[in-house]
Structure 1
Amino acid sequence: MPSGGSTLNAENSGNHTLPSTLAGVDPLSQFLTGPRAQAAFTLRVTMDPPFAIDVQDQAALTVIAAIQGGAWIIAAGTDPQFLAAGQAATVRGPAPYVVADAPDRAATVVIGPGQSCRTPAGDHVDVTMSHGVRSWGNSPDGDTVLLIGTYQSSAAAGQLAVSALPPLAVFDTQETDPALLGLIEREMSRPAPGQESALDRALDLLLLHLVRASVDRADAAGPSWATGTRDPVVARALEVLHAEPASAWTVAELAKRAHVSRATMASRFQAAVGQPPMTYLAAWRLALAADRLASSTATTAAIAQDVGYSSAFAFSAAFSRAYGVSPTGYRRAAEVS
């Protein structure tokens, strides 16, 4: 596609005072206050049938909104879903998916990593299908108009935030704010100072609305921190874990805070969130650390202490096990991207 912007605890230790940017937030709030969309790929797509866009860009998450007409979204492991005007959809990557005028349509164009655009035969059509900045399609006045927002890579807390989303979800008009869709379309249509930042923040806000809608659904994706908020006992535990991730939490202490027995806390947390409380805390601490590595110049030792580790060595070992790369390597990769 044409340019739409550049490329979304393992141990308990003593209490620490966490920086204000990390304290008292849940994964969705951290997603909006920490590393989030930065120069995200955003595009207005206009298509006439027949069309089938085979998306193989390996993006972490894509948000699609239909402004006019509609399209089918086909993703592996799920039934094809139709996206009608006024609706929005989320597609979790990096697996490929197809956007088409019919669910059985053969691919007419393939989108690769870096938003390269070619025909199935391999001919590049980046230029011929471009209609200006942030506008692309097989017809400048196509019957189907889609707004695309892509998080090429997602920050760690962002990954936790969108864990409430299934691989493919379509949200109806009651769950999608039409005013917000209108704002995004207007920003895409008129190049202006600050456009890139405005689109980033609007895309973040749209995703927040969609994650909330997914949480509110009875058929939301499997157990996660989001589904845990429905259980008042688990919600209390999540509240204190998010507010004080560096504290020396135990299941017994969480149970005390929620005025239930240790066994009750352990069983209800496991059922609602899908993992034990201390396993969730480990992931949350490391996610916060990953976001700080990507967005600050704080030393590894300082970050380790801030998220609840007694030593940089213990933190580095836990981080490497979870992310497959050292904290230093993670920071370098974030700087390159």
Structure 2
Amino acid sequence: MDTLSDLLRRAGAGDAQVRQLIQRPPWSITYADAPALTVFATLGGQAALRLEDVPSVPPVRLAAGDIALVAHSTRHTISDDLATPPQVLIRDGRKQLLGDPSTHAALEANLAPRTWGDGLPGATTMLRGMFKLRGEAGRRLLAMLPPLVVIPAAPRTGAALDLLAAETTLDEPGQDAVLHRSLDLVLVLALRSWCASLGPADPSWYAALTDPAIGSALDHIHTDPAHHWTVAELAAIAGLSRAAFAARFTQLVGQPPMTYLAGWRMTLAADLLREDAGTTVAAAAQAVGYQDAFAFSVAFKRAKGMSPSRWGRAEAVEAVGEAIR
């Protein structure tokens, strides 16, 4: 499996929801407790997006067909114009109407499944997809992204958005699966488009994924993280000498090959201990390529700041707390 697909899968990016707004201006919506990764797309009309809790990021305007990826921000406002005061506050999945009561009827109208607004001529059509990322893999994915990325309209992303918009209004057997996969497609195409636009001064992780030599080595690590990889073996896969491979890997990935491998193994082990309360330390160690549970525990504590057994207990308590909430 290729590296980006593996990371998206393990981060749980398929656990998603989709909503659509079809509303004439003026309109403004504030999301008060947004998930870690959100996708906005303006299908018709235009919109303005402001991250309330990341003031260092300037507001942006979205034209028809543009996509915005929002990461790290839990409170942001999207509207027809930056000057429009918030009319809707969404918190805990509930909609609170604000401002002029005469506008409330249109803001409450359900036009179709997962779709609301007035649906009248001149309306802006906007899609919002929400990803609930999980565990250390989710945090690793988020660390690769800036708070806000805007991807200009393009034929490939446009076709994916049209499909997602059409499916959003339906309620047929298997609908959730279709929506999740359609939103996954939009996310991956948006990431590809953004990464292809990066310059030399931008994050280099995408250059590592697309580099034939280093990308191949990364794919092998992600396909079989428990294998006893050595620099020499990975260099042979990349078709480079050990020295040339180590230097190029460090340059593109930002850390040496064995450091990356160790960090990825700890990510996998942390999520394994989190997701399965019955996983023993020895089983987690073996799953990520450690034959010695003690050596694994030392490495895990160095990476995560606590022993694997304590990590598992802490995550179990957190999971119970989330279930109660």
The TM-score normalised by the length of structure 1 is: 0.76
2:259 pairs with one of 279, 288, 296: 279
Offset, 1:173: 2.4
Residue of structure 1 equivalent to 2:93: 115
* Matching residue of 2:249: 269
Change in CA separation of 1:210 and 1:312 when aligned onto 2, cut-off 3 Å: farther
Q: Identity, % of aligned pairs?
A: 35
> 1:101 and 2:80 equivalent?
yes
Q: Does 1:145 align with 2:125?
A: yes
Measured in 2, the distance between the counterparts of 1:211 and 1:242 equals 19
For residue 165 of structure 1, report the CA deviation from its aligned partner.
Answer: 3.6
How far did residue 188 of structure 1 move? 1.7
Q: CA–CA distance in 2 between the matches of 1:316 and 1:116?
A: 43
Count of aligned pairs between the two proteins: 309
1:190-220 superposed Cα distances (whole Å, 9 cap, x missing partner): 2222222221121112111112222222349
Question: Aligned-pair distance for 1:42?
Answer: 1.5
Instruction: Please list every run of 5 or more consecutive structure 1 residues that lacks an aligned counterpart in the other structure.
Output: 1-23
Task: State how far apart, in whole Å, the 2-side matches of 1:330 and 1:185 are.
Answer: 37
Residues 28 and 161 in structure 1, CA contact (< 8 A), matched pair in contact too: no
Distance in 2 (alpha carbons) for counterparts of 1:161 and 1:298: 26
1:302 match: 283
Please give the root-mean-square deviation of Cα atoms over the aligned residues, in Å: 3.5
Q: Which structure: greater helix fraction?
A: 2
- Higher relative contact order structure (alpha carbons within 8 Å, sequence separation ≥ 6): 1
Alignment pair present for 1:330 and 2:282: no
1:201 — aligned with what?
181
CA contact (8 A) 1:88 1:176 kept: no
Q: Which amino acid aligns with 1:27?
A: L
1:100-249 matched pairs, under 5 angstroms: 100-112=79-91, 114-119=92-97, 129-132=107-110, 133-137=113-117, 139-141=118-120, 143-161=123-141, 164-174=144-154, 176-219=156-199, 222-249=202-229
Q: C-alpha distance in 2, partners of 1:317/1:130?
A: 55
Contact 1:223–1:272 (Cα < 8 Å) also in 2: no
| TM-score (structure 2 length as normaliser) | 0.78
Alignment correspondent of 1:82: 61
Per mean C-alpha deviation after superposition, the further-off stretch among 100-109 and 68-77 is: 100-109
Task: Indicate conservation of the 8 Å contact 1:37/1:204, yes or no.
Answer: yes
Letter of the 2:24 counterpart: D
Which whole-Å CA distance do the structure 1 matches of 2:73 and 2:293 have between them?
32
Confirm whether residue 49 of structure 1 aligns to residue 17 of structure 2.
no
Return the letter of the residue paired with 1:216. A
Amino acid at match of 1:306: A
* Contact 2:72–2:142 (8 Å) recurs in 1: no
Q: Contact 1:61–1:154 at 8 Å: present in 2 too? A: no
Whether contact under 8 Å (2:50, 2:77) holds in the other structure is yes
Q: Which has the larger radius of gyration?
A: 2
Deviation at 1:73, TM superposition (A): 1.6
In 2, Cα distance between equivalents of 1:281 and 1:224: 17
Query: CA separation of 1:168/1:175 partners in 2, compared to 1, >3 Å: closer, same or farther?
Result: farther
**3-state DSSP of counterpart to 2:107:** coil
